[in-house]
Amino acid sequence: MTTTMTHAELEKLSNLPRGREMIVSKKISFDAAHYLPNYAGKCSQMHGHHWVVELGVKGFVGEDGMVIDFTTLKNFLSQIKANLDHYLLNDTIPNPTAENVALYIKVKYYQQDWGFKEVQLAFIKVWETEDSCCTLEVPSKI
């Protein structure tokens, strides 16, 4: 059973989060190969993964009801994808563990002006497989 909200109820609800701090995130996925040169196991051989990256930013909900436009996050992550999708990660990231891929994305985030002036990086998650993930938490700036 679906209940439709009245315009007044929706307007009241949309006014609630303004000024509240929230985390907004966006995911991308790409396919890439890598090998781990410092690893004594089968992962030292070249192999591929379907990688998933999630980037979260923290900020205050503005008058428009958003922390940040998802399109802004998408544009940044599209550049990351363009640099890594269907490439050998070792050509870009030395020892490309999930942890080092997260650090690479953090560096790229801070190197560019992507329109994130009102938000700060909260976390980067990198899935190497569907059940293996690295989370890089970024402490709030004081």
Whether residue 106 lies inside any domain: the answer is yes
Q: Quick check: 142 pLDDT over 50? A: no
- Predicted confidence at residue 120, as pLDDT, reads 92
If one compares 21 and 8, the residue with the highest pLDDT of the two is: 21
Per-residue pLDDT tens digits for 24-40: 999 999 999 999 999 99
Which pTM does this prediction carry? 0.85
- Domain around 73: 19-137
In a domain, 28, yes or no: yes
132 assigned to some structural domain:
yes
Distance of CA 28 to the CA centre of its chain: 7
Q: Which of 28-37, 48-57, 117-126 is predicted with the least confidence, judged by mean pLDDT?
A: 117-126
Please give the tally of structural domains in the chain: 1
For residues 51 and 126, the answer to whether their CB atoms sit within 8 Å is yes
H or E stretch including 136? strand 132-137
